Amino acid sequence: KLWKQFKTLGYSNKSKEKSQIVLEIKKEKCFDPKIVVNSMNNFFLTIASKLVSQIKEKASNLFKTTCKLFKDYYINKGVIPKSFKISQVSEDFVYKELCKLNTTKSTGIDGLKPLFLKDGANIIKESITHIVNLSITTNTVPDELKYAIVKPLYKKNSRLEVGNYRPVSILCIVSKILERAIYVQLHKHLNDNNILYEFQSGFRGSYSTDTCLINLMDHIRMLISKGNYVGMVLLDLQKAFDTVDHVILCTKLEGMGIDFTEWFKSYLEGRQQVVMANETTSEPGIISCGVPQGSILGPLLFLCYINDMPISVKCKLLLYADDSALIISGSDPKQIAESLSKELDSCRQWLMDNKLSLHLGKTESILFGTRRKLKRVESFEVKCGNEIVMHVNTVKYLG
């Protein structure tokens, strides 16, 4: 109680100096809040586009290589072109979504608090339903619903480095009601038609990190019990959610039988964000690529984007969102390493075609087997191109 009284008087264990973000800009500390937030916004907006531009320099036929393959992939799955259309929603649907709102969530750029919307659900349900259905019928997402507030969250290391802050996006609540209307129908289409990759465990009902790890461990144990070695490569993708190409994503949605890509184009394009920190707001900036962070649809759209990744390899591929594992077994470790190298090269090509960046410095290889068998192995060298993949004896997966 005494401490609560102190805090009301302005005393706190966190000094103002610590809560104030100060950055090192041009080798000098910058205390100007406007310059700080503008620098942060510029960094968050350009980090993904810089990665994409590096990929463009290495790959001249972006997406062309895999475009036909992914279309055949869905045809073979029995997907009928333009078979799925989004339907308008009822007032009852909107009312239920408003009543389910988490009142502890932050307020978006429109200033409408979730508690206000939840308490007034019965009064505003008609207006919100009209907005949602108008968006669906016109294939248009209002610009006001595509505006994000970004709060920089300190991660670790030097507080002066902008790269040590994670952007946390806050969208307005009404946009999430609209997204839920689309999400529910899109998710049902993907599930009913078994479109999502069977070994994708990320962002799916009845799947979790536990199911992914159990599947992985059971598979490895089964192969070892047959007297095999098991080689695995864990791929690390850089800013995968942020480098998603909007044109490629809409093309992939079309391949999944979705006759609603104009709405998704409107949803993805022209999004803006501002950084808010030090009681200051940055100038707005355009988001040129990536799925919207902090959104309802973002994770599901990413699954759609990466869903045809299995066409790039012949070995077993496990996915948890962007966490990927290539697995090959056999009696000869050298042969396993060579096969993994070929599969990794093929996978890397698919990633580049789809404007996704493989971080080789954090990609790891590991060999499993009985203790007695592993003692006989002199080396296990997996390569990607001419670069050797880091070999480890223990690995952290989904951590």
Coil, strand or helix at 351: helix
Please choose, from the candidates 80, 86, 63, 74, the residue with its C-alpha nearest in 3D space to the C-alpha of residue 262.
86
Q: Please say whether the beta carbons of 235 and 325 come within 8 A.
A: yes
pTM surpassing 0.85? Answer: yes
* Encoded amino acid at 293, one letter: Q
CATH class of this structure's domain 62-79+197-245+296-399: alpha beta
Please choose, from the candidates 294, 288, 342, 295, the residue with its C-alpha nearest in 3D space to the C-alpha of residue 315.
342
Residues in the chain: 399
b (16+ CB within 10 A) / e for 309-322: bbebbebbbbbbbb
User: What's the pLDDT at 65?
Assistant: 66
Number of H helices, E strands in the chain: 14, 16
User: What's the pLDDT at 58?
Assistant: 64
b (16+ CB within 10 A) / e for 243-255: bbbbebbbebbbb
pLDDT tens string, the chain, 399 residues long: the values are: 444 444 444 444 444 445 799 999 999 999 999 999 999 999 999 999 899 888 876 655 567 667 778 888 999 999 999 999 999 999 999 999 999 999 999 999 999 999 999 999 999 999 999 999 999 999 999 999 999 999 999 999 999 999 999 999 999 999 999 999 999 999 999 999 999 999 999 999 888 888 889 989 999 999 999 999 999 999 999 999 999 999 999 999 999 999 999 999 999 999 999 999 999 999 999 999 999 999 999 999 999 999 999 999 999 999 999 999 999 999 999 999 999 999 999 999 999 999 999 999 999 999 999 999 999 999 999 999 999 999 999 988 886
Q: Which helix (H) or strand (E) holds 192?
A: helix 173-192
Q: Which two tokens stand for residue 309?
A: 């990744």
* Backbone dihedral angles phi then psi of residue 55, each to the nearest 5 degrees: -65, -40
Q: Output the CA torsion 35→38→42→45 (10° steps).
A: 160
How remote is the C-alpha of 27 from its chain's centroid? 33
Q: Which two tokens stand for residue 6?
A: 């102190």
What's 140's DSSP letter? Answer: -
Domain extents in the chain: 1-59+84-192+246-288, 62-79+197-245+296-399
Q: Which helix (H) or strand (E) holds 92?
A: helix 91-99
Please choose, from the candidates 26, 44, 61, 66, the residue with its C-alpha nearest in 3D space to the C-alpha of residue 277.
44
How far is residue 175's CA from residue 185's CA, in Å, rounded to a whole number?
A: 16
Q: Which two tokens stand for residue 55?
A: 């990929």
How far is residue 341's CA from residue 99's CA, in Å, rounded to a whole number?
A: 52
* Encoded amino acid at 198, one letter: E
Coil, strand or helix at 15: coil
Instruction: Please name the residue that has the structure tokens 């790959």.
Output: 59
